[in-house]
Structure 1
Amino acid sequence: MDDRRLSKTLAHALRHAPWLYELELDADGWADLEMLLQALREAKTAFRHVSRADIERVLANADKPRYVLEGDRIRALYGHSLPGKVTHTPAEPPAVLYHGTVREALSEIRAKGLLPMSRQFVHLSAEGALAQQVAQRKGDAVVILTVKAADAYAAGVVFYPGNALVWLADAVPPGFLVFPAAD
């Protein structure tokens, strides 16, 4: 495993673009280590077998401390380019948001809507291109769903701003989703 590449990817995930890895950072920048490992495994073929030991090795061999690993949590010490701390205060979303998924998940989404699955929240994108980029980590047959966020909000669905590009929701019922015509 290329430790330099792993270190750069950690910086990207923990400092600059956690939403691309579907990571949720708490108000102090901590991420769940197992969720980070799973995201790295899904994001890059080179990290398909990344482990806690690999992360510990990168941290131990760094020329200066960049990350803190504490129990089952990890965070960057500095260098965040995130626009402020991640908060989970409910807010009115934009009229439309997007969610990228893979074709094989569509039947379950049609039946149940968007659910957080193993995460705390459903991740939604303010831009279709970002939803596409996130979904491509899940597979090749990518489908972008349009979320009628204003309608969902008016009906009582709670949304939380993650940052300028990402919104979170506890769940989104199927009636507020627009599926591509071919699907």
Structure 2
Amino acid sequence: MNELSKYLCLLLRHQPEKAELDMDSHDWVSVKQLIDGVNRHSSYKLNRELLEQIVAEDNKGRYRYDEKHEKIKCCQVHSVSWVEPELEYCEPPEFLYHGTTTKALEAIEESGAIKKMARHAVHMQADISKAWQSAERCHKIPVVLKIAASEMNKDGYRFGVTENEVWCTEEVPVKYICDSVYTK
């Protein structure tokens, strides 16, 4: 089920065309079309019951249904160019945390900022344990960066938060990185 969940994220965050999904400008896709697309274009077998289970058990709260459970989306789309992220723009907490790897940290230091790259925004968490989940997702040395978000906001950087409490901004200059944590 974990592999199927990752595949759903791939479709809903990066490549809806792989399953011929008609995604709207806010990432919503018909549940029926998602199930049919997965079954037709992959080796996975998906039904409504299994999809409901994946959504309910997702520890990051990535998925959202509309009120009738006829449409589904991921709360933050990474790289689908025509999707406009639905963010609530507001003042962030004093500190936010960005999960990454030591290799990526080298690139961040070299470039002078955490960049959004092909994503719509840089993603951060108010909860350090959720940042660790992001940092540990690949087989590299994880690191969590503590970001002076309130200071950034005072300096004119805008912050938005998604429905599942992921904080987003365009970039984070290295001068706002307060600390790096390499172990839990």
1:116 — aligned with what? 116
* TM-score, scaled to structure 1: 0.59
> 1:54 is matched by which residue type in structure 2?
S
Once the two structures are TM-superposed, the CA of residue 112 in structure 1 deviates from its matched residue by 2.2
Rate the CA distance shift 1:65–1:129 in 2: closer, same or farther, 3 A: closer
What runs of 5+ residues in structure 2 fail to find an aligned partner? 15-22, 30-37, 53-63, 76-84
Point out the more displaced range, 105-114 or 140-149.
Answer: 105-114
- The alignment status of 1:58 with 2:56, answered yes or no, reads no
Give the CA RMSD over aligned residues.
4.3
> 2:149 is matched by which residue type in structure 1?
A
Cα distance between partner residues in 1 of 2:173 and 2:24: 26
> 1:122 is matched by which residue type in structure 2?
V
Once the two structures are TM-superposed, the CA of residue 88 in structure 1 deviates from its matched residue by 2.0
Cα distance between partner residues in 2 of 1:131 and 1:12: 21
Once the two structures are TM-superposed, the CA of residue 105 in structure 1 deviates from its matched residue by 1.3
Cα distance between partner residues in 1 of 2:162 and 2:118: 18
Rate the CA distance shift 1:11–1:95 in 2: closer, same or farther, 3 A: same
Rate the CA distance shift 1:63–1:99 in 2: closer, same or farther, 3 A: closer
Aligned pairs for 1:105-144 within 5 A: 105-110=104-109, 111-144=111-144
Cα distance between partner residues in 2 of 1:116 and 1:127: 20
CA contact (8 A) 1:113 1:177 kept: no
Once the two structures are TM-superposed, the CA of residue 178 in structure 1 deviates from its matched residue by 1.9
Aligned pairs for 1:1-183 within 5 A: 6-7=3-4, 9=5, 13=9, 28-30=26-28, 53-54=41-42, 58-59=45-46, 62=47, 78=69, 87-110=86-109, 111-163=111-163, 165-180=165-180
1:45 — aligned with what? none
Q: Specify which structure has the higher proportion of strand.
A: 2
Cα distance between partner residues in 1 of 2:181 and 2:101: 15
Cα distance between partner residues in 2 of 1:120 and 1:150: 21
Once the two structures are TM-superposed, the CA of residue 181 in structure 1 deviates from its matched residue by 7.6
* TM-score, scaled to structure 2: 0.58
Rate the CA distance shift 1:26–1:88 in 2: closer, same or farther, 3 A: farther
What is the DSSP-based 3-state SS (H/G/I as helix, E as strand, rest coil) of the residue aligned with 1:114? Answer: strand
> 2:28 is matched by which residue type in structure 1?
W
Rate the CA distance shift 1:155–1:162 in 2: closer, same or farther, 3 A: same
CA contact (8 A) 1:66 1:76 kept: no
Deviations 1:93-147 (A, max 9, x none): 0110000110011122123211111111100011111000111113331111001
Cα distance between partner residues in 2 of 1:64 and 1:123: 30
Cα distance between partner residues in 2 of 1:30 and 1:119: 18
